[in-house]
Amino acid sequence: MSDRGRSSTPRPLNDTDVDMENGTQDDKPDAKVVIVTHLTRNVVESHLQAIFGFYGDIVKIDLPLFGKSGQNRGKAALEYVDAASAHKAAHHMNGGQLDSSFLKVELSDLPIRGTRSRSRSVSPRPRAVVV
């Protein structure tokens, strides 16, 4: 055994209780967008539509993908028709489990950005013909 003692467990700087129930509902009452993080690479848009669609009609889903692999980047933004559906989804799904990963679900006031055109490449230059 060693003569060295064990270090104490770090204590939080602010030792007051935090009210988790009211934090998300009152901060953004008009928020229609839900941000979901900690998604596994197997999750696709149809999974999100099936699971989060239970809480209300979803207008738009933004699921960024890696260019080469085509897998998601571990986060998504879902825009609901109304704020009540977004609040319900955030309240019920935050900390929920999907594909063995615990989700972090937050409300956002920001709208989902528009889908940009994927054809950004300039048309190829004509090749020089060698005779």
Which pLDDT tens digit goes with each residue over 52-103? 999 999 999 999 999 999 899 999 999 999 999 999 999 999 999 988 899 9
Report the greatest alpha carbon distance in the chain: 85
Residue 130 has pLDDT above 50, yes or no: yes
Please check whether residue 87 lies inside any domain of the structure. yes
Total number of domains in the chain: 1
Residues sharing a CB contact under 8 Å with residue 10, sequence separation 6 or more, in sequence order: none
Please state the pTM of the whole predicted model: 0.66
- Determine which helix (DSSP H) or strand (DSSP E) holds 83, and give its type and residue range: helix 83-93
Residue range(s) defining the domain that contains residue 98? 34-108
Sign of the torsion angle spanned by Cα atoms 71, 73, 75, 76: negative
Please check whether residue 73 lies inside any domain of the structure. yes
Please check whether residue 50 lies inside any domain of the structure. yes
Residue 17 has pLDDT above 60, yes or no: no
Q: What is the average pLDDT across 13-26?
A: 47
Q: CATH code at 87?
A: 3.30.70.330
Please check whether residue 85 lies inside any domain of the structure. yes
Please check whether residue 68 lies inside any domain of the structure. yes
